[in-house]
Amino acid sequence: MNKNTGALLDVAGLQVLYPIRGGLFGRPVGHVRAVEDVSIRIDAGETFGLAGESGCGKTTVGMAILQMVRPTGGRVAFEGTDLTSLATGALRQIRRDMQIVFQDPYSSLNPRLTVGESVGEPLLVHGVARGHDLKRKVGDLMEIVGLQPSYASRYPHEFSGGQRQRIVIARALALRPKLIVCDEPVSALDVSVQSQILNLLNDLQQDFGLAYLFISHDLSVLKNVSDRVGVMYLGRLVELAETAALYERTLHPYTEALMSAIPLPDPVRQRARTQVILSGEIPSPSNPPTGCPFHTRCPIAQAVCREKLPALEEKRPGHLAACHLRD
């Protein structure tokens, strides 16, 4: 990807290897290739959706961007600064601009802090506000996410999952970040609450010009929130395109299968569909297949797929896919 696009975030050739330790002295005996050669660009105010199943590396990409996991290769440029070479102290300043919202709103709030303390903590830590000013700012944040400011004195256990996720979002907004990594932010929520949170995230993006990296296994959720979508399989991006283009015509057989596996909430249409049901399971990322990582489950795999890794190429304008057989 181009270096001088002026993108908010420019990730190039990202690699994350986790060591597998074994033996008496816990020496690394191998690696889990969690993320391999992932390049994505996110512009200010844009939502990039990252799709994939468990173990595909999508969460690791989010963590590596925030340097919560240090990448073993590649570059993560935020507003032109390469974060991978920054020391912890310098990172702290950058982290004001980048926040994260996790999947489970039950475990991402400290149960011993009032929600007001949790929401205000980033402001305090970064010396942005304290005392009366802090209280007012917390109240404002609570209001922005649709909670009564008076709730600030309550504890997390007094809130439902959806409300907790609002609190987590308020905390993420506290420092007025430019980018929020949303890691499955609605997966743990009830259906009727999911849509509330998705609408809230869309509203906040409008109001504050936020960019999101939106990580989800659910392609129907991603369609609702994303401007562009990347699909990962076994640590690699296999397809990347504008949302409309991707959903109109998928190129990679894995994306197709993933799309087809999501049941449509309409019994007539769902039952009339020809579903691609993949055989087999996701291989282990510690021992990925040779060639195209998807060939072991791919319904159209040929000999070349077993031997050669397909490059992520632009098959149509702005539409990238890593497949030998599809153009």
Partner 1 sequence: MTENTTPLLRAADLTVAVDGTSLVDGVRFDVAAGEIMALVGESGCGKSMTALALMRLLPNGVSIVDGEVFLAGRNLTQLSEAEMEAVRGNDISMIFQEPVAALNPLMTVGDQVVESLHAHQGLARREAMEHVLDMFQLVGIADPRDRMRQYPFELSGGMCQRVMIASALICGPSVLIADEPTTALDVTIQAQILKLIKEMCADRQTGVVLITHDIGVVADTADRVAVMYAGRIVETGSVFEIFAAPRHPYTQLLLKSVPRLDDKKKQRLHVIDGVVPDPQHWPTGCRFHARCPFVSEQCRRDRPPLDEVAADHMVACWHQAELAEAG
Contacts 24+ apart (CB under 8 A), 297-302: 297/254, 297/257, 298/253, 298/254, 299/253, 299/257, 300/253, 300/325
Q: Which stretch binds partner 1 (CB under 8 A): 37-45, 100-108, 167-175, 191-199?
A: 191-199
Please calculate the CA angle 205-67-97 and round it to the nearest 5 degrees: 35
HSE toward the beta carbon, residue 127, CA cutoff 13 A: 2
Nearer to partner 1, 53 or 117 (CB): 53
Beta bridge partners of 228: 48, 242
Query: How far is residue 213 from each of residues 58, 79, 101, 110, 139, measured CA to CA in Å?
Result: 10, 15, 10, 24, 27
Least distance in angstroms from the C-beta of 224 to partner 1: 4
Supply 214's token pair.
């939106």
Q: Does 196 interact with partner 1 (rule: CB under 8 A)? A: yes
Nearer to partner 1, 102 or 233 (CB): 233
C-beta of 166 vs 324, nearer to partner 1: 166
Q: Is 304 in the site for partner 1 (CB under 8 A)?
A: no
Three-state SS at 223? helix
Maximum Cα–Cα distance across the chain: 68
CA distance 255 to 277: 12
Instruction: Please tell me whether residue 247 binds partner 1 under the rule CB under 8 A.
Output: yes
Tokens at 95, concatenated: 């982290």
Does 277 participate in binding partner 1 (rule CB under 8 A)? Answer: yes
Applying CB under 8 A, the span of 29-37, 149-157, 177-185, 193-201 interacting with partner 1 comes to 193-201
* Shortest distance in whole angstroms from residue 261 CB to partner 1: 4
Residue that has been written with the tokens 């990580």 in this structure: 215
As measured in angstroms, the least distance from the Cβ of 268 to partner 1 is 7
206-245: contacts with partner 1 (CB under 8 A) = 217-221, 223-227, 243-244
Q: Which of 68, 90, 261, 304 binds partner 1 (CB under 8 A)?
A: 261
Please select the residue that binds partner 1; options are 106, 195, 208, 315, rule is CB under 8 A: 195
Q: Give the CA distances from residue 140 to residues 133, 144, 165, 176, in Å, rounded to whole numbers and listed in that order.
A: 11, 6, 17, 12
Integer Rg of the chain from CA: 21
Q: Among 260, 301, 306, 309, which residue sits at the site for partner 1 (rule: CB under 8 A)?
A: 260
Applying CB under 8 A, what is the total number of residues that bind partner 1?
49
List interacting residues with partner 1 (CB under 8 A). Answer: 53-54, 160-163, 190-196, 198-199, 202, 217-221, 223-227, 243-244, 247, 257-268, 270-271, 275, 277-279, 281-282
